[in-house]
Amino acid sequence: MPVIALQGVRGGLGTTSVTAALAWALQQLDEPVLAIDLSPDNLLRLHFNTPFELDRGWARAELDGTGWQQGAMRYCKKLDFLPFGRLNAAERLKIRHSESGTAQRWQDFLAQLRASGHYRWILLDIPAGDDPQIEQLLTLADQVFLLLSPDANCHARLHQQPLPTGCHLLINHYSSASPLQQDLHQLWLQTLAGLLPLVIHRDEALAEAMAVKQPLGEYRPESLAADEVLTLANWCLLNLQDAEV
């Protein structure tokens, strides 16, 4: 049961959308998957048709002192998701400060999931950043997919911010019409270890999928980006099964 964390080198790169899309692609390949929102943005749920008003989620339950371990919601037969939950600013601060106990609960929860054999894959939607709490969340994962867009901002960040050890780099928002993007992509192919052998193109289908509250592959299975995310799911099956412990 590989645990894959997805994180952007900065916010807004498509981490949450790609987490939802990859979860959909894995279940399409008959692989049971749980997608977990570890980002206080609490947006992953909106890719799975959750009513905006619903405040339910693991961090909400953690603050209310109720158990969240059974709180995953079913989207379809082989795809469950666990929302972060709606918190106000003061509550978000509180959950950050209680993180050390929470981290242990996450370790235990993932161990239970492994033992249950219920899921073949766990996906973690992790917020951008490298503060100690986020680093702790990253240690829950066997693999990290770090999202990048081929732009100068991401290129600079690759050289000035620490990257998760051994991470796989995943290009999203690729536009082959842009000479700068083509150049950066070529440079990265030659210089970056860990670059995944596929890109996800900038595709209106991805933007629209969130607007209709569906994962990409359900909304537009014939789109280029859906095909690329399906390729990513197949890459996971071929390359990450050994991460099983």
Ligand X SMILES: Nc1ncnc2c1ncn2[C@@H]1O[C@H](COP(=O)(O)OP(=O)(O)O)[C@@H](O)[C@H]1O
Which residues sit at the interface with ligand X, rule CB under 6 A? 8, 11-17, 43, 172-173, 200, 202-203, 206-207, 210, 225
47 binds, among Mg ion, ligand X, none (CB under 5 to 8 A by kind): none
173 binds, among Mg ion, ligand X, none (CB under 5 to 8 A by kind): ligand X
Q: How far apart are CA 228 and CA 29, in angstroms?
A: 14
220 binds, among Mg ion, ligand X, none (CB under 5 to 8 A by kind): none
Q: Which residue is nearest to ligand X (CB)?
A: 14
Q: Which of 2, 7, 16, 230 binds Mg ion (CB under 5 A)?
A: 16
Residue with smaller CB distance to ligand X, 39 or 113: 39
CB of 231 to ligand X, least distance (A): 14
CB of 39 to ligand X, least distance (A): 7
CB of 208 to ligand X, least distance (A): 8
Long-range contacts of 194-197 (CB under 8 A, 24+ apart): 194/166, 194/167, 194/168, 194/169, 195/168, 195/169, 195/171, 196/145, 196/168, 196/169, 196/170, 196/171, 196/232, 196/235, 197/235
CB of 225 to ligand X, least distance (A): 5
Closest CA to 203 of 182, 186, 168, 228: 228
Is residue 17 involved in binding Mg ion (CB under 5 A)? no
Instruction: Give the other-Cβ count within 10 Å of 12's Cβ.
Output: 11
**Angle at which helices 15-28 and 204-211 cross, to 10°:** 90
User: Site residues (CB under 5 A) for Mg ion?
Assistant: 15-16
